[in-house]
Amino acid sequence: MFNRHATLPLWAEKSDSQKLETLHGMMLDLYAYTLAPARHALRQTLLSHTPTDEKERADTAQILAWLETHPHLFHQSCEVGHLTGSGLVLDLTSGKVLLHYHKNLHKWLQFGGHSDYDTDLAVTALREAREESGLPDLQFFPLGESPRLLDVDVHAIPARQERPAHLHLDLRYLLATRLPAQAAPPAGESHLLRWISPAELATLTSEIAPPLQRLIRKGFAAYPEPATIYGE
């Protein structure tokens, strides 16, 4: 699928634009080959995921389609859009979830970011949440189990500096902490944090986008009684 350069004229006969097209095709071929196992694993994860509304269904279908047409989807070099990983942090002592006010997008969000060449978006989600929150004990929830994909969302990122507008194809996971008071974002990260309870979510619908509301509701639904968590 990604070897179009093989049908172009020989190098000496190519124009500059054809040479660039050839190099681009070779790069895509390399991505397609080296990332084939990661793309297959992600495809299986998405196929086993059950979306909860029409937007999430459409977003999941879009990522599955782009995995076939954009072999470099894990990397920011895919300028039309690329995969990201994020984590919703749940406080096991109170059942609240943690948001931060994004310094560039100027909205309340869960923690997350680019894969930075990780091919496991769960690893990305955990790394970014640890870096951005400063919480030392974050781990995937349910505790002691392999990461479970909680939510899928595709959203637009506006143009900024030299980066054109593009899409983030976000895979979202639930993370847990027992040390909420130790949230301490490092220098350079947003220091505006907000712990939200189920009762408070209903009052924040004007401040939180619907896909994030959906993610938070899923996080609350996954939270068991404290006695279950601590094995009492």
Lowest mean pLDDT among 13-17, 74-78, 180-184: 13-17
Domains: count for the chain: 2
Domain, as residue range, for 26: 4-33
Same domain (yes/no): 105, 204: yes
Same domain (yes/no): 29, 116: no
155 in any annotated domain: yes
70 in any annotated domain: no
Same domain (yes/no): 22, 129: no
175 DSSP β-pair partners: 89, 140
Same domain (yes/no): 226, 116: yes
Same domain (yes/no): 16, 93: no
177 in any annotated domain: yes
Nearest by Cα to 66 from 1, 4, 137, 10 = 1
Same domain (yes/no): 107, 222: yes
Query: What 3-state class would DSSP assign to 88?
Result: strand
Mean pLDDT of 22-35: 80
Q: What is the pLDDT of residues 138-160, one digit of tens each?
A: 999 999 999 999 999 999 999 98
184 in any annotated domain: yes
Q: What is the dihedral of CA 127, 224, 99, 214, to 10 degrees?
A: 100
116 in any annotated domain: yes
Same domain (yes/no): 27, 129: no
Same domain (yes/no): 162, 84: yes
Same domain (yes/no): 20, 113: no
Evaluate if residue 2 carries a pLDDT over 90.
no
218 in any annotated domain: yes
* Angle, vertex CA 114, rays to CA 110 and CA 119, nearest 5: 115
Evaluate if residue 211 carries a pLDDT over 90.
yes
Q: What is the pLDDT of residues 84-140, one digit of tens each?
A: 999 999 999 999 999 999 888 889 999 999 987 789 999 999 999 999 999 999 999
120 in any annotated domain: yes
192 in any annotated domain: yes
Q: Are strands 108-109 and 139-140 parallel, antiparallel or unpaired?
A: unpaired
From residue 43, alpha-carbon distances to 24, 48, 61, 97, 219 in Å are 24, 9, 10, 29, 23
CATH assignment at residue 123? 3.90.79.10
